[in-house]
Amino acid sequence: MTTMSFEPTAEQTAIIEADLVSMAIVACPGSGKTATAVRRLAELRKRLNDTKGRAALLSFSNVAVETFRAEYQKLQGTTVTDSKVAIQTVDSFITNYILKPHCARVMKSRRMPFLCLGDEPFLSAYKIGEGKETTGVADIILNRVSGETRFYRKVGKSDPIALTPAMSKLALKKLNEFAATGGYTHTHGRAWARWLLAREPHIAKALALRFPQILVDEAQDVGTFEGEILDLLIKAGSDVSLIGDFHQSIYSFNFATGDYLRAFSERDEVVKFELTQNRRSLPAIVNVANALARTKTTPHRTTSKLHSGAFYWRYEEDKARELMSTWSSALQAKGYALADAAVLCRSSDMLSELTSASVNLGTSAVKHLASAALERDRNGDIAKTFHHCVQAAIHLVDVPNTFAQQVKSPERGSDIAQLRRLLWDLIRDNASGIPPSTLEARGEWLTKLRTNLASWLDIVEEKTKFTRAATWTARVTARRLPETGPLLGGDLGQNDWNGLRLGTVHSAKGEGIPAVMYLTSKKHLTALLKGTSKEDGRIGFVAATRARDLLVVAIPLDTKPSVIKKLHNLGFMDWDRPGR
């Protein structure tokens, strides 16, 4: 939605022009909340113009933040940074204003806190348990329950497993030892930030004076620690407004269940608003969404020039790859470009089966260098390429634990500055750096990579004080690389439907896509039909509401007639017999 054509609805106008109060804005899918939030931010900025206070707009993804920034710049008619406004991720806000400047005190660290992603070699010193039950510090996650901090073990995107009291005690000891180095993970950082604000309320007061108005987008994703941090800022004087949708809460593995948004909206001092017009999807899709979530959203769009609607498509579960070919042909026959379509899966395991490849290529240093090659060659994203090279360097070179943070803005003339330049050499020169991703992964690509890294490490030792890791060769192996074919082919899945986007539902959160197929198993279909009371159902709801024009739910061939009837009752039609 462009700023020139934006005409706010009565609901949007009420939000944009509301008093300076805390608000709960429950927004349906495709409701134009980006445009609404940005205009509310501009209104807050205008009202705060003669004060020292700033307005913050926070979200949970970099993509959302970049979208907000672009929309705000269009609205203001300038690309110059507005000093009265902060548009950041929630994690960035916590890091910049709480963690880095203050949390070393509660972490009992002598250095500024630094983020760890979980696979840094030095983390091997911080583990609990034995054998198969060993848990690394990065896999220890925290939750707040009834005012207490509880310890859990992360298990992919499955529900975390609670630690026993004895293991929790050991986990606390290791976390404190880890924190003393200055290190933290995202989940630990939120815990330390909450503890800092609770222990030093004058910091919360200073932040509230600096940010008297805070907007939080995708507020159904607020976890227990973020919720308590917001509450501490509210107590200190900030007005906090949340924008979100209970029905799109799909991050329970991170203890974000939508409960905070729901409870917040029921507070007496909070003014509640709704955005009930879906400006993304056609009526057939909106009707399905309403039936699933038991809502009364209204569609803004009415027609499409292309074949549209909500359908189900039977497929044989052991022939999902053949389905992709058939679906691609059907899309093109209906006038859709493959680039305007997506197949969304409930899990990364199902996605891996479709691509005949692991979603993550390689392990240790190779994982990051493979990712760097793909970002450089396929996407042209040099910033992400460099990020992966930095992570690879941590596995290859004996650098300080704070290297990933220091390399972003190194001191001029320092060894870290020199190593940064050498990392860019890895990216720029295919011949002597990271080989092209079009080479055979386990063959020429890995062979060239090993040779080039050996020479590169010689240069590192010659031009800096750093030395190669003693076990660097053991970190450059073929493990989890594609068995055959090029690295790029392994990532995309070598097939005849290249160009069709395949991804998890979580990867498409916040998007609008012209044509969507939601690929289900019997379990996932059952969850979808039960609506949004459970997370598996909400994941299906999010998949369905990504679709702008065409929604197809792929269901197992032997789906029972009783289940088919439920699909019809929800508003789906049979793709093969759309009139029935």
| 494: three-class secondary structure by DSSP | coil
User: What's the CA gap between 59 and 577, in Å, rounded?
Assistant: 42
Other beta carbons less than 10 A from residue 511's beta carbon = 14
The C-alpha angle with vertex 376 and arms to 372 and 380, in degrees rounded to 5, equals 140
Residue 396 CA: distances (Å) to CA of 300, 428, 462? 54, 19, 15
CATH class of 283-356+496-574: alpha beta
Burial bucket for residue 49 (CB in 10 Å: 0-12, 13-18, 19+): exposed
Q: Are residues 361 and 371 in contact, defined by beta-carbon separation less than 8 angstroms?
A: yes
Is the separation of the CB atoms in 448 and 426 below 8 Å?
A: no
Give the SS3 label for residue 17: coil
End-to-end CA distance of the chain, in Å?
36
Query: Which residues have a Cβ under 8 Å from the Cβ of 29 and sit 6 or more positions away?
Result: 245, 248, 278, 280, 281, 289, 297, 542, 545
pLDDT per position as a tens digit, 360-417: 578 899 999 999 998 888 767 788 899 999 999 999 999 998 898 889 888 889 999 9
User: CA 73 to CA 5: how far, in whole Å?
Assistant: 16
Answer yes or no: pTM beyond 0.95. no
435: left (phi over 0), alpha (psi -120 to 50) or beta: beta
Residue bearing tokens 């060894």: 415
Residues in the chain: 580
d(CA 308, CA 549): 5
In the predicted model, residues of the chain with pLDDT beneath 70 are 1-5, 157, 352, 355-360, 379, 488-498, 578-580
Q: What is the pLDDT of residue 217?
A: 96
404 within 8 A of 114, measured Cβ to Cβ: yes
> Could you give the residue range(s) of every CATH 3.40.50.300 domain in the chain?
10-96+193-278, 283-356+496-574
Q: Which CATH architecture has domain 10-96+193-278?
A: 3-Layer(aba) Sandwich (3.40)
Which residues fall within 8 angstroms of residue 190, CB to CB, at 6 or more apart? 91, 94, 142, 223, 225, 226, 229
Q: What is the pLDDT of residue 358?
A: 42
